[in-house]
Structure 1
Amino acid sequence: MSEQIDAAGIFHASDGPPSLSAVCRHWVDRAIARIEADYNRTADTHLIPVEMPALPGIALYLKDESSHPTGSLKHRLARSLFLYALCNGWIGEGTTIVEASSGSTAVSEAYFARMLSLPFVAVVPRSTAPEKIAAIEFYGGRCHFVDAPCDAYAESERLAAELGGHYMDQFTYAERATDWRGNNNIAESIFAQMAREPHPVPRWVVCGAGTGGTSATIGRFVRYNRHATGVCVADPEASIFHRHWQDRSVLTQEGPGSRIEGIGRQRVEPSFIPEVVDRMIAVPDAVSIAAARVVSRRLGRRCGGSTGTNIWACAVLASEMAARGEAGSIVSILCDHGDRYASSYFDDEWLSASGFDIAPYERRLEAFFETGRLPAA
């Protein structure tokens, strides 16, 4: 490659390839245009009020992310991750995409990979719901199984290197792939949809943490816009995140992991930003499943286990607000559709075999909706 400086003092390099060939740039341009066109065809997700007649001064809403084309909150993340990787020059025509996932992110990434005619491999635990496995395969993805969720990271790196592909790594890039200032992210959408409600600025926004990307986006957004809103993360009891939030030196969690797919981890993920979280509520798995069933009956449709985790935290917060005589609104997320868990959380035989007794928690949450108070155990 030859180098020269012209009369104006401008450096030029010639006889060498550019960082992206014209052909590659053309493919990337078309890929981004296809993703943006898909987004333009997709209406925003609904904000659903949940009736709580016993608490007339407190309003509860669920952001229904199950209405995305791939059925979950992770559709937003997958779109952002693909755009981020494309604009960083990490993905080109024919690149094999590899992702570590508990299921839902892989479903959504398989959708976008198929849109761009890219091979896709999902590295998932063997315990992943069969309905999610079927959805990944429906979109043309291939599942590569690991025995333990913590094995998925290294195995994804190994596979991507072996295949000459790109490891998407949602756990690292979730918090930076989304523009937290706005640009139609979930936080901006929530606050826009709340504008005409009696309490338009929520007292609390409640979400879970799988990568930590959603809590980071919402936490940064409310601070940037100076909203008087607290961000609460509802975390499975077996997860590391709430322990790390209490003590930053705690980075891993030993023992069995949570059975609630999509949230809770055994290690602190790079995308989890504890400084933008105002409160964390730890929720046992049996409670999450019970709450998913209760809210499913009240909405007339099935919701996944992570939605149940959120609902329990909302009940705790609403009970506390009522006890203090506070009025206001709470917004949480309906993360995915419960039909993905027909063979697990909504199967009585699976519950029995897994050792879950959810009846006491169902009674407590039903009592909350009837009386406005969450009874003690």
Structure 2
Amino acid sequence: MSEHVTNRHCQAKAWSQNAIHILEAEGRRTADSHLCSVHLAGFSGIDVYFKDESIHPTGSLKHRLARSLLLYGICNGQIRSDTVLVEASSGSTAVSEAYYARLLGLKFYAVLPRNTSKSKVEAIRQHGGLCHFVDEPATIYDEAARLADRECGYFLDQFAYAERATDWRGNNNIAESILNQLSLEPHPVPQWIVMGAGTGGTSATLGRYILYRGLATRLCVPDPEYSAFYEGWRDCDPNSVSLRASRIEGIGRPRVEPSFIGNVVDAMLKVPDAASIAACRVLSGLLSRRVGGSTGTNFIGVLWAAAEMKQRGETGSIASVICDSGERYADSYFDDDWLSAQGIDITHPTELIERAVSTGELSPDLFLAQRQRGDTDTPKLHRQHA
């Protein structure tokens, strides 16, 4: 009996070590993402960079997270050769996890809101993943846990484990990579890094690394209109909720996720969806290729940070992230009929963003609210959403 157990343990360990080798080899093959410079004429002396995470094999920032989550599960002994993997996702994380599950020969289920973009659903299926839809986005957590239990599988749970699965001290994480790539630039230590929150794992990695390296860099987290993160951070309330699901895929959540570490965030903004979508279109024009809505939210944060620096007479650099390609949103954010059906008019915010880019004048109409760490007054509410 003991010999049988020993052999089974040895086989499991051998599979785990081989799986880790496969994941590490894939990481080396795909190398690092590019850091792109974006010229904003209205902000002289302020250099802006976007780290292009859309170039990963699965097309988004979530490629890094998916690899980390699988490594985390394997090294904890919870993912084995016959384990069924399950994830709760709005799309991009599931695309990346399906890719890695197929590399390892594992069955994968994605639990998705029914309104997830068709292109993401198709990408999950192309990588061999199975899609399990729910009508209410807030139920994806419980449904994923239930499905994992039914399949005797493993719930990857990006929202709980994103912040701990990633090595925030280094190991070529996104923060270390940004700083390395900036090392020969005129302003190698950015004044601001701007990154929206979905799981909260990337903003946690960035904020922790800033503190760990003793940098003067500040972290700004722009939050979509329908999301709980901003209010939770502002009010120090981990139980804050949003009664409506975010329309900016990849960021914004109906609750403050466990992976969101508010103590490392220096400033947050509340960004209207119309501004996020207008910004992704304007930035797409500047880059000559499409970027997604979450990158548009980041761009609003970049403009806010640049305006803060300009007002203080500061020069320096700002870094942010291209989260995914806008080609995934051809039938939504880049479709005027879809915008009309959603009741979203981007005409005015587009004018304001283009003016900010060319003149450096930033209108408060691009924000619902903004707040920096240390503010003692009430949040600066500029307008209420109609």
- Give yes or no for TM over 0.5: yes
Off by >4 Å, runs of 4+ in structure 1: none
CA distance in structure 1 between the partners assigned to 2:209 and 2:339 by the alignment: 38
> Are the counterparts in 2 of residues 218 and 231 from structure 1 also a CA contact under 8 Å?
yes
Query: How far does residue 103 in structure 1 lie from its aligned partner after superposition?
Result: 0.1
- Which residue in 1 is equivalent to 2:54? 66
What is the letter of the counterpart of residue 86 of structure 1?
I
Query: How far does residue 313 in structure 1 lie from its aligned partner after superposition?
Result: 1.0
1:152 corresponds to 2:140: yes
What is the letter of the counterpart of residue 105 of structure 1?
T
- Which residue in 1 is equivalent to 2:350? 362
Query: How far does residue 52 in structure 1 lie from its aligned partner after superposition?
Result: 1.4
What is the letter of the counterpart of residue 96 of structure 1?
V
CA distance in structure 2 between the partners assigned to 1:79 and 1:292 by the alignment: 27
1:330 corresponds to 2:286: no
CA distance in structure 1 between the partners assigned to 2:178 and 2:24 by the alignment: 21
Distance 1:175 1:376, change over 3 A: closer
Alignment map for 1:1-377 (pairs within 5 Å)? 17=5, 21-249=9-237, 251-377=239-365
Query: How far does residue 94 in structure 1 lie from its aligned partner after superposition?
Result: 1.9
> Are the counterparts in 2 of residues 243 and 250 from structure 1 also a CA contact under 8 Å?
no
What is the letter of the counterpart of residue 132 of structure 1?
K
Relative to the length of structure 2, the TM-score reads: 0.92
Identity level (%): 57
Query: How far does residue 18 in structure 1 lie from its aligned partner after superposition?
Result: 5.1
What is the letter of the counterpart of residue 260 of structure 1?
I
Query: How far does residue 376 in structure 1 lie from its aligned partner after superposition?
Result: 4.3
Query: How far does residue 15 in structure 1 lie from its aligned partner after superposition?
Result: 6.3
1:243-282 C-alpha deviation (Å, 9 max, x unpaired): 1111123513242222001111111111011001111111
What is the letter of the counterpart of residue 231 of structure 1?
L
> Are the counterparts in 1 of residues 242 and 253 from structure 2 also a CA contact under 8 Å?
no
> Are the counterparts in 1 of residues 35 and 178 from structure 2 also a CA contact under 8 Å?
yes
What is the letter of the counterpart of residue 186 of structure 2?
P
> Are the counterparts in 1 of residues 66 and 96 from structure 2 also a CA contact under 8 Å?
yes
SS in 1 for 2:105: coil
- Of stretches 34-43 and 98-107 in structure 1, the one that deviates more from structure 2 is 34-43
What is the letter of the counterpart of residue 162 of structure 1?
R
- Of stretches 130-139 and 14-23 in structure 1, the one that deviates more from structure 2 is 14-23
Query: How far does residue 238 in structure 1 lie from its aligned partner after superposition?
Result: 1.6
Relative to the length of structure 1, the TM-score reads: 0.95
CA distance in structure 1 between the partners assigned to 2:142 and 2:53 by the alignment: 30
What is the letter of the counterpart of residue 294 of structure 1?
V
CA distance in structure 1 between the partners assigned to 2:8 and 2:199 by the alignment: 31
Q: CA RMSD in A?
A: 1.3
